[in-house]
A and B are shown apart, each in its own frame.
Chain A
């Protein structure tokens, strides 16, 4: 039995959107970040960052550690004052309308924001109380939040008895009790096992379906690709790209590459030049004992490539296609990888590798 269910929704007393109103809402900017700047001493953490978040949208802030994602998110939630620029929530400056806006935004901090010595239920009682919830309303919301993150049967257990993944899920639940319109999540899957990551993704997709606007920081490109409608890539405190996943792939010279290995003689240079002229082929280069071909039209172009090669009497023994990733986009834009060693695979894939 699936015990998870969406949080009870508020009516639109303050103009908030009812659940599922994504079709209309997606056109409306809910959050406007304009020329944000933040320095810590001599270091510029955030440098002229601007973008918009539309109602019902899920935005990923993607970038390596130290890129300025968390600082940007902290300024969006009002935790950190910007040195310059502004953050507006539905047209009202966050800095000037803090208390009202705080009631409409939920933050999931990167550090676990939980009291280990208390039960999950007691933690939620506190977090709901901070937003003025009490009595039956608080109990109902806490029940629903626990159900959403799949911890309803552990409500009485102390948090210190939870696994890392369960703590992360409870950390998310703590930000949802006041039914915020906008949820800011700062690396919510840090340090969790693949199973818990999937559970968290399910939770976030459930929130997305219920019409919540989500802003999600991560340095795992698979997470961003799976969850986000749009991705803002940040590096060294600056926005270097802001587009849909499909739009970002268009920034690459080729969206996929194929590696061919030969048995016997290698192709001559004139063949390489001829292959490069085939429609849909972006680039052809020699690689380790073979050819590497970048193409936007894998299905059509590859047949013609193989025909030309066969016509030269060469024998292909292996064809390996390599899908391009957001990591490639990131490397193309910045010249370096998302994480140390240019590895951008999420832990799930690392484990599988």
Chain B
């Protein structure tokens, strides 16, 4: 084994990386900016006021109880409610300005009170809903039911009926009562994505070398294909570790991301992720043929991996089948593993499975790269 040659190749790749300061800066700033954006959109550090659901109340009953319900809905902390007539409410829902318009029909309060006394004629409350917001209806339904029962019983001169319990919420993580920091997730996703992209680019650069005299010089040296690819993988991994470290330093310093769980697990995740990405880039280069063809495949594969892996949107919002299917892609394990040791506050045990999956994927990718890479002309 020509270790000195491997060392020389690694050092050379690091030198080349260091010569282009602008590319280095962009490689670190872009993931930070995008992670900051996604983190903010998905709730930031948890202290920011959440966005309110815009709704309209259309009171066709115009009784005391229905007016009280409209006032109640306007007071709900997570609703932005306004009173409109039916026509205007429908227009605004159609335009996407409102998520729901709640229509309280004529005689709503009287009919509802009669049902509560044993009558059969249930009034119908109509929801005009924006179909792109399926969850909003469920939320509004709960608030409306509570308010309607309370106001209708009050209107009958009885003690208003109230919910006979209170609800409190505690954030459950393995560490302590930690607020959800959406930045922790978005930095996990974006770091995974951009290190993967950089690694694939390193693989493509390797293919471009083929057309240069430097390739002949490499091949006339006493150096095997495996040694060459291992050196390349190590260099890419070191560069990835450098990027990972800088990105997370910014995430910790500015965006409040914390390693609430195992620090060893976090370091292990960083190493496994960088190893997997570097080997994956080499594998794509070995399978893609020309640089142009590999670039096309790489863009497609990268986007699929990061989307399915939950790098953009947390995987818990996926349909159930996709949540299961996404376990087949290494990026899902990367994001979940980083989530586990950061905001979920899990110990080393929470990171071991992701580290094992990423490590095994890396070894398989590297083996395929060594097997398939075209060393000879």
Contact = CB atoms under 8 A, between A and B. Distances in A.
B212 A113 contact: yes
B8 interface: yes
Interface residues of B, number: 26
B326 to A, nearest CB: 39
A331 interface: no
B219 interface: yes
Given A77-B220, A113-B213, A126-B9, 5 more contacts: A102-B222, A107-B220, A118-B15, A129-B12, A134-B8
A132 B2 contact: yes
Interface residues on A, range: 35 or more
A107 B376 contact: no
A103 B377 CA distance: 20
Nearest to B218: A130
Contacts of B34: none
A174 B4 contact: no
B8 A109 contact: no
Contact of B223 (A79, A114, A130, A133): A130
B307 to A, nearest CB: 34
A79 B216 contact: yes
A131 interface: yes
A295 interface: no
A166 interface: no
A122 B214 CA distance: 14
Nearest to B4: A132
Given A113-B217, A132-B5, A122 B15 contact: yes
A228 interface: no
Interface string A75-86: 001111100000
B16 A130 contact: no
A111 interface: yes
A117 B217 contact: no
Contacts of B214: 113-115
A245 to B, nearest CB: 29
A174 B217 contact: yes
8 contacts: A79-B219, A107-B216, A107-B217, A115-B16, A125-B8, A129-B9, A130-B5, A133-B4
Interface in B162-214: 212-214
B34 to A, nearest CB: 28
B377 A127 contact: no
Contacts of A125: 8, 11-12
A174 to B, nearest CB: 7
Contacts of B12: 115, 118, 122, 125-126, 129
B4 A105 contact: no
B7 interface: yes
Contacts of A102: 220-222
B19 interface: yes
A131 B5 contact: yes
Contacts of A98: 222
